[in-house]
Structure 1
């Protein structure tokens, strides 16, 4: 897989996770721990995207 397509996949996952976090925050049954874990995953994806993007620049 080309690096640019890998970065695009990561961006898609980040966006999807962002929507999941928003929905979870609106849902009364979602625990703070679940939301925090999703936010951590989102941050890890963002860091990976940035790392790979600077590697190609």
Structure 2
């Protein structure tokens, strides 16, 4: 899998989690633990996307 396709897959997952969070928050009895967990998962995916898009230069 190329880096570009991996990033595209991560972006797809990121959007899906965002929709899931929005759906959960529309419910009057939304599960705050579930929402918090989804937000952490979304952040980990975003961090991974940034790491792949902008790798840190190696020091020699």
Q: Distance in 1 between matches of 2:28 and 2:48?
A: 31
More helix by share: 1
Structure having the higher Rg = 2
User: How many equivalent pairs are there?
Assistant: 55
TM-score normalized with structure 2 length: 0.86
Q: Which runs of 5+ in 2 are unaligned?
A: 56-60
Residue equivalent to 1:29: 29
CA RMSD of aligned residues (A): 0.8
Deviations 1:3-49 (A, max 9, x none): 10000000000001000000000112331000000000000000000
> After TM superposition, where is structure 1 displaced by more than 6 Å over at least 4 residues in a row?
none
Normalization by structure 1: what TM-score? 0.90
